[in-house]
């Protein structure tokens, strides 16, 4: 008798369910088997969530900020109490190792910690005596109902990046997570409810492009935040803006690590291996391109990279000694391996080949071994496009000028790292490189929660970055008040445009 698959529900405020006409399989990447299915919704499910959000949002917006912050404090405590079970659930659907899943959750939790300070962050500006008896002040008010569309690679962190800020400032939030690993986002919504969040303020709807288009077209949704591939980010931005929404859409990346001749190569190799192969390379802030400056630097770097890569342990997500686990689906595994063959066909030197990797007892898992290319050129498709897997490419630069130009001229502009001991070189590089996030001897320069995350060029569409004060600006709008309390009647001056003279 066949075992009935677990079904992952939408999370509606009223606790109701919504039977689906279409379903998507949720795999266990460690063994290749289907472990659950998720119903794919559309306009009807979205409208149901919208109705519940409309009822709840005005009262939540009117709740004073410190009371909203208390919900965030309680949610933080619940996440910490449930860290192990959340990480296990995340790894079971995504495939990343448990330690990496805990890092995923922790980086999202740091934005929740920032949101706990929302009473301070929402303070406006005040000018006393801008004119005779006239004071001017500003306030930030929530937009109303907003939505987030999140990717498979960080099913805990990126939803918390979005809804933590959006809810703290007074909005209702509708989350559409990836259908590949949707269980953790639902669990986060359950924990927010347990933390005291009123029903209707955070809801989760599942779906594919049908649901995405419904969100982008719905006139009641004031803003949409998106993280995913660049082509879809561009689509989301264009369609959302055309519908009159505020949109931030973060896309893909091809991050470079520049290795200067004076760099500490042993430290750089450790950093590069973690940044390139951690989470099987399924990060928009992974470091898939390394750029040694000068042939001698390139040869020395390569000599150290090969044994370091060959020593990496690929294992199931519960293997505490594994450096990384499987990729998310069989289709994505095939795509990565096709890129590796493309690199060979384009003339790059395949130094370490990760294709055909098989783990005993898990032969049907979605594993790809670590791969290293050398002598990659900017004309190659594998350099131009995001592979999103455990593939590292060496692009040799003759000079510092060429090294600055490579990430600056690439169509993506998410992150870049420079490895050097020279402060002047670092300062010059930081000022000149045309990339949104820069690391100096930091391989994955994801900013802390009280700054903000955002790339340039095809890595980011829209005028606001994720989280931090940029997130607050995205999820609120400014209202400015000019007030006067006159002693007597208005007289004729009421018909004259006021001045501050």
Average confidence score pLDDT of the chain: 95
H-assigned helices in 278-410: 295-310, 330-346, 381-384, 400-409
Spatial strand order of the sheet with 371-374 comes to: 349-352, 371-374, 391-394, 289-292, 256-259, 415-419, 437-440
Q: What is the pLDDT of residue 1?
A: 41
For the whole model, what pTM was predicted?
0.94
Tens of pLDDT, residue by residue over 15-34, are 887 788 899 999 999 999 99
CB atoms near residue 479 (< 10 Å):
11
CA distance 223 to 274: 35
Contact 6, 27 (CB under 8 A): no
The answer to whether 46 and 211 are in contact (CB under 8 A) is: yes
Return the domain boundaries, the chain. Answer: 6-251+459-480, 256-440
Q: 256-440: same fold as 6-251+459-480?
A: no
**Which residues form the catalytic set?**
284
384-441, pLDDT tens digit by residue?
999 999 999 999 999 999 999 999 999 999 999 999 999 999 999 999 999 999 999 9
Sign of the Cα torsion 373, 379, 383, 386 reads negative
CATH of region 6-251+459-480: 3.40.605.10
Q: Compute how many other C-beta atoms are within 10 angstroms of the C-beta atom of residue 236.
A: 28
The CATH code that applies to domain 256-440 is 3.40.309.10
The 8-class DSSP code of residue 198 comes to: P
Give me the residues paired with residue 36 across strands. Answer: 6, 26
- Checking if the pLDDT of 98 tops 90, the result is yes
41 close to 12: Cβ distance less than 8 angstroms? no
- Give the model confidence (pLDDT) of 167-218 as tens digits: 999 999 999 999 999 999 999 999 999 999 999 999 999 999 999 999 999 9
Tokens at 370, concatenated: 């670590």
Burial class from Cβ neighbours inside 10 Å (0-12, 13-18, 19+) for residue 368 reads: buried
pLDDT above 90 as % of the chain: 94
Residue 108: name the closest of 143, 72, 136, 139 by CA.
Answer: 72
* Distance from C-alpha of 290 to C-alpha of 375, rounded to nearest angstrom: 11
Neighbours of 481 (CB within 10 A): 11
pLDDT(156) > 70: yes
């Amino acid at each position: 008798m066949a075992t009935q698959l677990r079904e992952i529900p939408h999370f509606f405020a009223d606790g109701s369910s919504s039977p689906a006409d279409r379903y998507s399989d949720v795999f266990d990447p460690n063994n290749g088997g289907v472990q659950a299915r998720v119903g794919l919704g559309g306009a009807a499910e979205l409208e149901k969530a919208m109705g519940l959000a409309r009822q709840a949002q005005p009262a939540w917006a009117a709740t004073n900020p410190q009371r909203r912050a208390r919900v965030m404090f309680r949610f933080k405590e619940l996440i910490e109490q449930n860290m192990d079970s959340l990480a296990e659930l995340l790894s079971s659907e995504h495939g990343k190792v448990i330690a990496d899943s805990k890092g995923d959750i922790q980086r999202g939790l740091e934005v929740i910690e920032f949101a706990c300070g929302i009473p301070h962050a929402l303070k406006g500006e005040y000018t006393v005596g801008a004119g005779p008896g006239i004071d001017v002040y500003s306030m930030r008010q929530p937009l109303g109902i907003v939505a987030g569309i999140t990717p498979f690679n960080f099913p805990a962190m990126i939803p918390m990046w979005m809804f933590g800020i959006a809810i703290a400032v007074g909005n209702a939030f509708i989350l559409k997570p990836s259908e590949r690993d949707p269980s953790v986002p639902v669990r986060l919504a359950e924990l927010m409810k347990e933390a005291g969040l009123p029903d209707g303020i955070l809801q989760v709807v599942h779906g594919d492009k049908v649901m995405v288009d419904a969100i982008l077209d719905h006139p009641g949704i004031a803003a949409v935040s998106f993280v995913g591939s660049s082509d879809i980010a561009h689509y989301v931005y264009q369609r959302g803006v055309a519908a009159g929404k505020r949109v931030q859409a973060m896309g893909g990346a091809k991050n470079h690590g520049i290795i200067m001749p004076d760099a500490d190569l042993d430290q750089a190799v450790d950093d590069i291996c973690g940044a390139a192969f951690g989470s099987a390379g399924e990060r928009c802030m992974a470091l898939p391109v390394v750029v040694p400056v000068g042939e001698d630097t390139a040869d020395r770097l390569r000599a150290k990279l090969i044994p370091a890569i060959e020593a990496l342990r690929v294992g199931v997500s519960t293997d505490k000694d594994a450096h990384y686990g499987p990729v998310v689906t069989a289709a994505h595994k095939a795509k990565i391996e096709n890129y590796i063959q493309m690199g060979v066909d384009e003339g790059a030197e395949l130094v370490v080949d990760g294709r055909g990797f098989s783990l005993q007892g898990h032969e049907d898992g979605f594993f790809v071994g670590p791969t290293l290319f050398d002598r990659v050129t900017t004309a190659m498709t594998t350099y131009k496009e995001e592979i999103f897997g455990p593939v590292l490419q060496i692009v040799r630069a003759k000079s510092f000028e060429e090294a600055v130009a490579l990430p600056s001229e690439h169509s993506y502009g998410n992150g870049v790292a420079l490895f050097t001991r020279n402060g002047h070189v670092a300062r010059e590089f930081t000022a000149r490189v045309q990339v949104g996030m820069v690391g100096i001897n930091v391989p994955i320069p994801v900013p802390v929660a009280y700054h903000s995350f955002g790339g340039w060029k095809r890595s980011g569409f829209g005028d606001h970055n994720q989280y931090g004060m940029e997130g607050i600006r995205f999820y609120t709008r400014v209202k400015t008040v000019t007030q006067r309390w006159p002693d007597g009647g208005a007289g004729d001056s009421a018909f004259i445009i006021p001045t501050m003279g």
